[in-house]
Amino acid sequence: MEENRRMKILVLGNSGAGKSTLIEAIAGKEVPIGIGEGKTQSISVYESEIWPLTLIDTKGFEFNFLQQIKTIDQVKRFTKEQIEAADGRGIDAVWYCIEGTTRRTFAHNIDLMNRAIRGWKGIPVFAVITKSYSEPDEIENIEAVKAAFYKEKGINFKTVIPVVAKEYRINDAVAVPVKGLPELCTETLACAAEAREISVGNQFRLVLEQKRFSAEKTVLGATMAAAVVGAVPIPFPDSFILVPLETGLAKSLLKIYDIDFSGDLVTAIVGSAAITTVARTALNALKAIPNVAGSVINAVVAGFFVFALGESVIAVSEEICKGRINKEKIDDVVKFVEEKIGSNAALAAALRILTTNPEKWKNKKARQILIETLKAVKDTLVKNGGSSGELKP
């Protein structure tokens, strides 16, 4: 079976839940073919010699809280590392193993699983009841597991499959045979097309998140630089002193998102009259702050204006990457940026914070005001359920 046609299955569950026995039965061998790099030393990878499946074994969830957090962190790191793998794919499905011979709290177990795989939205999840030796217990366990999964929102739960991965001998005359393995594998493979589509979507989303992280760092640097430029004794909304900085920022952000752009596109974004109006409005709103020098006000407004412009260019870049905006239609791009900068939550929050308690800014320098306000903006937006990017000076 070709490697790129294999499904990658993340196997989760408590220690002692029978993960290793299940993996060995399906893989057809006992030795792992690879160990996760970096900080994922507890992740082992097995390729099945029977099924077109790659099984990813994890350290079991423990009752110890710190160990649970460690395991969750390892799973998150490993799944993100999959983006950099040779085939560029992530996790295709999850097998969550629950021991059929114990009465552990299903709901708690499922919550741990959900936290571990939250980065891979929508991937198919199969509940595997291991060591399913007793038929009466099996029926009861299936209903209990289903009830627990149905209470959890946001999980693409498929089905419950009881298995016995290794013959279990009750006595010399009676043994429980292996069962459920073909059903588990065929049910999983039936989701291959869905899993690939979801995996690609998650991969694209995480790639965008990485680009956004880099872009927000670039915007923050430009914000601080704008404060220095804006401190000159010229009303910057009526001059061109920020144009080189704005132009460089826009070009840098478009490059981070791998967008080929023309000089006309950047010129149109930076030269928008509507964007300049936003800066002038912000400046007028802050002029009323007493005991703060005009050069400091200029610098603060310049910094927040460039910050809002940068966030807007990030937003339009993501829309272009998603195919929702055509970069060749410059008017559409500029209109989108204008709307974003005009309704920028961070800029609006900054103006409220700066004008609500003017005495706080007395005798402070522009950089200090910017840093304190950026932190306050972040706290405000996070509290209100919004997003303010990194906002870390």
The band of 42, judged by pLDDT with boundaries at 50, 70 and 90, is low
116 in a structural domain: yes
Dump pLDDT digits (tens) for 127-144: 998 888 887 788 888 888
| Residue 121 falls inside a structural domain | yes
What CATH number does residue 26 fall under?
3.40.50.300
Closest CA to 82 of 192, 181, 264, 207: 207
Q: Identify the pLDDT of residue 108.
A: 65
Q: Flag whether pLDDT at 15 surpasses 80.
A: no
Please tell me the distance from the alpha carbon of residue 19 to that of residue 202, in angstroms, as a whole number: 26
- pLDDT score recorded for residue 388: 41
pLDDT in tens, 49-62: 888 888 888 776 66
Amino acid 387: pLDDT? 45
Same domain, 319 and 368: yes
Range of the domain at 219: 208-383
Domain boundary among 163, 190, 217: 190
- 212 plus 186 within the same structural domain: no
What's the number of domains the chain is made of? 2
How large is the average pLDDT for residues 113-132?
79
**Looking at the structure, do residues 242 and 157 belong to the same domain, yes or no?**
no
Q: Say if 195 falls within a structural domain.
A: no
Q: 14 φ, ψ to 5°?
A: -70, 155
Q: What is the mean pLDDT of the chain?
A: 76
Same domain, yes or no, for 127 and 233? no
107/256 same-domain check: no
**pTM metric for this prediction:** 0.54
Please state which of the ranges 131-135, 229-233, 366-370 shows the lowest mean pLDDT.
229-233
> Would you say residue 332 has pLDDT above 70?
yes
Residue 293 belongs to a domain: yes
Residues 12 and 82 in one domain: yes
Say whether both 241 and 363 belong to one domain.
Answer: yes
Is the domain of 26 the same as that of 160? yes
Model confidence pLDDT, tens digit, residues 158-210: 999 998 888 787 876 777 888 888 889 989 998 888 877 776 666 677 678 76
Q: Which of 130, 161, 190 is the last residue before a domain boundary?
A: 190
In a domain, 106, yes or no: yes
Q: Are residues 150 and 247 in the same domain?
A: no
- Give Cα 145 distance to the centre of its chain: 28
CA dist 61 and 12 (Å) reads 8
Residue-level pLDDT at 126: 93
Q: How many helices and strands (H and E) does the chain possess?
A: 13, 9
248: Cα within 13 Å, side-chain hemisphere: 12
- End-of-domain residue from the set 156, 190, 224: 190
**What pLDDT band is residue 316 in, cutting at 50, 70 and 90?**
very high
334 falls within a domain: yes
pLDDT tens figures, 297-313 = 777 778 878 888 888 89
Report the range of poorest mean pLDDT among 37-46, 78-87, 231-240, 384-393. Answer: 384-393
Which of 6-10, 197-201, 357-361 is predicted least confidently? Answer: 197-201
- Does some domain include residue 226? yes
Residues 242 and 117 occupy one common structural domain: no
Lowest pLDDT segment from 44-48, 283-287, 319-323: 283-287
The reply to whether 92 and 226 lie within a common domain is no
In a domain, 13, yes or no: yes
Does residue 168 sit in the same domain as residue 283? no
Which residues does residue 169 pair with via DSSP β-bridges, in sequence order?
175
Share of the chain above pLDDT 70, in %: 74
Q: What is the pLDDT of residue 350?
A: 78
